[in-house]
Homo-oligomer: A and B are copies of this chain.
């Protein structure tokens, strides 16, 4: 497999995933309104190129969701390129990135992304999927992690990627609290091109199974006002993570990325509290105890 073919096929793969996930969202939430923006990159540093497809959803079940793909290429700042593997000023990157914020606090929020990057003679893949629940349905967390265990099994990479995820989606400024219950995350998969490509393709194909069965199981569950308040509180921690710590968001801000597409990750509604913990009931106290590394 040569690099050119891998790039073409990876772009096609992420667009296919985008379509499959869009389809699932529509099946589960017929009320969903879709805004699709097909954009072209105008200012990727000096030498513009590429673009993307941003899909933003709002509905009764899924309060807000974004399922985006992009393929960009062009010259990057030499200061930035010198920090990367590879050589030269030209960078190419393609990926899919998604976030789903359900309205019902019994249905967890999910995020995933899968990307391929090429810089001179080097390529690497990154990505992952992580779950942010608001109710202590531990069997759901086991299901999510179980699917990713299975996805990782042929590559013997679950333990390492689970550990990277536990360490990444963390609000260091909130006593190292995780934003959710983790999943898998990998930043720099770079072995042999064809095997890397197939691994990421196979793994990313597990996303639908990791998440939508949980939606199906929980979407009709009744919830209380307290459950909703807890979710809105936890969403504020999500916002803190994304705006303060997330490398993807900071990369987008630094490289003059498409702000609307990047900020689609932020929830439609959220609540900042001075001190929420004093209001916790027992279910939410239990949930709070899971925002730290656990075996699932």
Contact = CB atoms under 8 A, between A and B. Distances in A.
So how many copies of this chain end up in the complex?
Answer: 2
Contacts of A272: 64, 239, 263, 266-268, 270
A87 interface: no
A66 interface: yes
Nearest to A270: B270
Interface in A250-275: 253, 259-260, 263-264, 266-275
Contacts of A122: none
Contact of A243 (B56, B239, B268): B239
Contact of A264 (B66, B232, B268, B274): B274
A232 B267 CA distance: 12
Given A239-B243, A269-B269, A274 B260 contact: yes
A231 to B, nearest CB: 13
Interface of A: 35, 56, 64, 66, 173-174, 232, 236, 239-240, 243-244, 253, 259-260, 263-264, 266-275
23 contacts: A35-B274, A35-B275, A56-B275, A173-B253, A173-B259, A232-B269, A236-B266, A239-B243, A240-B243, A240-B263, A243-B243, A244-B244, A260-B275, A263-B274, A264-B274, A266-B272, A267-B272, A268-B273, A269-B269, A269-B270, A269-B271, A270-B270, A270-B271
Given A260-B274, A270-B270, A270-B271, 12 more contacts: A35-B275, A64-B274, A173-B259, A174-B259, A239-B239, A240-B263, A244-B253, A263-B272, A264-B274, A266-B272, A268-B272, A269-B271
